[in-house]
Each structure stands twice: as C-alpha cells, then as structure tokens.
C-alpha cells in the first residue's frame, strides 16, 4: 500500500478516489458482456471454458488489521485485476481459435505470453503456418 507512504495522501485522494471508483461501472458492464460471450460462443466453437475462480480472488478484506476503506480498496483491486486477467485468458483462447499467428517482432511491442504458450504460428513463416494449420 504505497499510498500510505505518500505525504498528505488524504488530501490528494479526495480528487483521485471518485474517479478511480467510477471505473467499477465499465468493469461490471464489460464483465457481464464478456461472460455472455464466453458462455454462448465458447460452446459453439468447442472452446474450453475459462475457470473464473482461478483469476478472481477477493480475500484480503478478511484481514483484521486493515481499515474499512483499505478493505474496500482491496476488494476493488482484487476484482478489477482479477476480472481483467480472466478476460485476457478468454481473449487469448479466442485469438488462438480465430488467428493463431504471432505478431511481427517489434522492440516497442511487449510480446503476448499466450502466443508462445499456445504455440501460435510464426509471423511471416508460411511453412510454419501450413504445418500448424494443414487443413487451410
């Protein structure tokens, strides 16, 4: 909780907290929409469901030494970061299904780990593409 080390943090947070808190609205809307997609489209494409519980963990609110507001921050961050990791896995499996090709190497681009893990075809390598997707 680095904010506790920030001098005069309470005054600064009067402006920050309302803005950060409103992010829950698009998070919940996107969560509902992505879950509808996940539950309807994955079975149609014969994709394995992503286990939500492996990505979203809300447990730090149980810590007795945290204040009420610190617990609320922990719930918010546990949900927000967890649900985005969950969405990322849904997106990765979607990408594997629809476009299993790595991006072009670029020093200014952070490589996406799932493309290695899921054994995507190399960018620009037609023989690798045909080897991995022989029915094309």
| Domain locations in the chain as residue ranges | 2-98, 102-136
pLDDT in tens, 46-83: 999 999 999 999 999 999 999 998 999 999 999 999 99
Is the Cα torsion angle 86, 118, 95, 97 positive or negative in sign?
negative
- pLDDT band at residue 99 using 50, 70 and 90 as cut-offs: very high
**108 three-class SS:** coil
The answer to whether the beta carbons of residues 102 and 123 sit under 8 Å apart is yes
pTM: 0.86
């Amino acid at each position: 909780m680095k904010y506790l080390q920030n001098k005069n943090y309470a005054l600064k947070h009067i402006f920050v907290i309302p803005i950060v808190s409103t992010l829950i609205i698009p998070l919940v809307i996107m969560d509902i929409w992505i879950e509808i997609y996940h539950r309807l489209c994955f079975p149609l494409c014969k994709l394995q469901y992503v286990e939500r519980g492996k990505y979203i963990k809300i447990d730090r609110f149980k810590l007795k030494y945290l204040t009420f507001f610190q617990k609320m921050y922990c719930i918010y961050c546990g949900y927000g970061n967890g649900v985005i990791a969950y969405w990322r896995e849904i997106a990765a499996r979607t990408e594997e299904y629809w476009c299993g090709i790595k991006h072009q190497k670029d020093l200014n681009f952070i490589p996406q780990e799932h493309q290695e893990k899921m054994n995507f075809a190399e960018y620009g390598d037609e023989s690798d593409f045909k080897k991995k997707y022989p029915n094309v």
